[in-house]
């Protein structure tokens, strides 16, 4: 019998080791609340983690999952989804992990419209390794690995996802938990690739982009006339830099996920087919 995830069942006995003021605390809370509010089943929910401060969340959720290597949470998650497409798959990692080492996988998953929800803790740094620049660090910023300032322009995750054919693209902020819970829920319910790029405060290694910095720039797309079914409008919104839009940039309401296009698993998941085959073989052995 499968149990529904509850507020107490999802919490592990391990206390988070993140720095005081880290945005990861808020993202963890939002993720757990979204699971509880959606009444997800323990047996049918799996979380795949990358490496980094965000990936340490693997210790703080009591849930099925897999703690992978840099960038490799993405292909591992797809393996699980195709083996048992009845699973709800959530992938958690940082900007260095997904937009650096895992970028090729990220684009591949978006193009394929694989049915997974990707939560990116985007603090614009490799923070677990003490603050090197990542693909989303802004040009000119001095970090441990760029003492003269970053030369490259930053990668724009929203534009990248949109142009890679992602069917759900959104941005949250770790200090806006109510909106973040709603975005995570919408991403999980979306049948296909769902990105929630979360601006995450890192008071230890990104002191410039703190809460006052974001508080005067963020605004909610839902409070504008933005049409989230218009991809070109989403791409234009994604280019804004002086102000920072939060919410759903784009959602394809007719999204058909990858696994739903595979006739091989139309009637049964691969894992159920494999179990049935094992049962037949076992029965035949008994008759010999």
- Which residues, including other chains, have CB under 8 Å from residue 1's CB and lie 6 or more apart? none
Residue 43's Cβ-side half-sphere holds a number of Cα atoms within 13 Å equal to: 3
Residue count, binding to ligand SF4 (CB under 6 A): 11
Nearest to 141 by CA among 154, 159, 156: 154
**Selected range binding ligand SF4 among 14-22, 62-70, 101-109, 188-196, rule: CB under 6 A:** 14-22
- Which C-beta is closer to ligand SF4: that of 23 or that of 192? 23
Q: What share of the chain is helix, strand, coil (3-state, %, to 5)?
A: 40, 20, 40
Question: Among all chains, which residue has been given the structure tokens 């048992």?
Answer: 84
Q: C-alpha 213: how far from its chain's center?
A: 24
Q: Check binding of 16 to ligand SF4 (CB under 6 A).
A: no
Q: How far is the CB of 205 from ligand SF4 (least distance, A)?
A: 5
By beta-carbon proximity to ligand SF4, the closer residue of 22 and 91 is 22
Nearest to 51 by CA among 117, 119, 129, 124: 129
| Contact region with ligand SF4 (CB under 6 A), list: 31-39, 73-81, 135-143, 200-208 | 200-208
24 binds ligand SF4 (CB under 6 A): yes
Closest contact distance (angstroms) between CB of 55 and ligand SF4 is: 10
Nearer to ligand SF4, 101 or 115 (CB): 101
Nearest alpha-carbon partner for 70 in 44, 46, 115, 100: 100
123 binds ligand SF4 (CB under 6 A): yes
Residues 88/74/174/34 CA torsion (nearest 10 deg): 0
Interface with ligand SF4 (CB under 6 A), residue from 5, 22, 63, 78: 22
134 binds ligand SF4 (CB under 6 A): no
Tell whether residue 53 is a contact of ligand SF4 (CB under 6 A). yes
Phi-psi group of 17: left, alpha or beta (phi > 0 → left; psi -120 to 50 → alpha; rest → beta): alpha
Tokens of 215: 């508080």
Among 45, 124, 127, 174, the residue binding ligand SF4 under the rule CB under 6 A is 127
User: Minimum distance between the CB of residue 117 and ligand SF4, rounded to whole angstroms?
Assistant: 21
Binding site for ligand SF4 (CB under 6 A): 18-19, 22, 24, 53, 123, 127, 202-205
């Amino acid at each position: 019998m499968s149990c529904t995830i509850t507020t107490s069942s999802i919490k592990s006995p391990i206390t988070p080791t993140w720095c005081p003021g880290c945005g990861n605390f808020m993202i963890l809370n939002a993720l757990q609340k979204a699971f509880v509010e959606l009444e997800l089943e323990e047996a049918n929910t799996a979380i795949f983690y990358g490496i980094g401060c965000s990936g340490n969340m693997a210790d703080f959720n009591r849930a099925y999952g897999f703690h992978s290597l840099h960038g490799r949470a993405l292909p591992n998650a797809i393996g699980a989804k195709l083996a048992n497409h009845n699973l709800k798959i959530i992938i958690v990692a940082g900007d260095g992990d997904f937009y650096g080492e895992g970028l090729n996988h990220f684009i591949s998953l978006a193009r394929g419209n694989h049915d997974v929800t990707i939560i990116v803790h985007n603090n614009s740094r490799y923070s677990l390794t003490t603050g090197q620049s990542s693909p989303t660090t802004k040009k000119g910023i001095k970090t441990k690995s760029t003492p003269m300032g970053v030369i490259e322009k930053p990668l724009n995750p929203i534009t990248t996802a949109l142009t890679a054919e992602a069917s759900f693209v959104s941005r949250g902020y770790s200090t806006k938990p109510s909106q973040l819970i709603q975005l995570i829920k919408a991403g999980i319910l979306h049948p296909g690739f769902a990105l929630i790029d979360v601006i995450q405060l890192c008071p230890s290694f990104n002191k410039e982009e703190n809460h006052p910095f974001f508080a005067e720039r963020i605004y909610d797309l839902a409070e504008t006339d933005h049409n989230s079914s218009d991809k070109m409008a989403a791409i234009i919104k994604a280019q804004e830099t002086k102000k920072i839009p939060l919410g759903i940039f784009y959602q394809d309401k007719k999204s058909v996920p990858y696994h739903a296009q595979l006739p091989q698993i139309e009637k049964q998941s691969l894992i159920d087919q494999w179990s049935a085959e094992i049962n037949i073989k076992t029965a035949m052995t008994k008759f010999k």
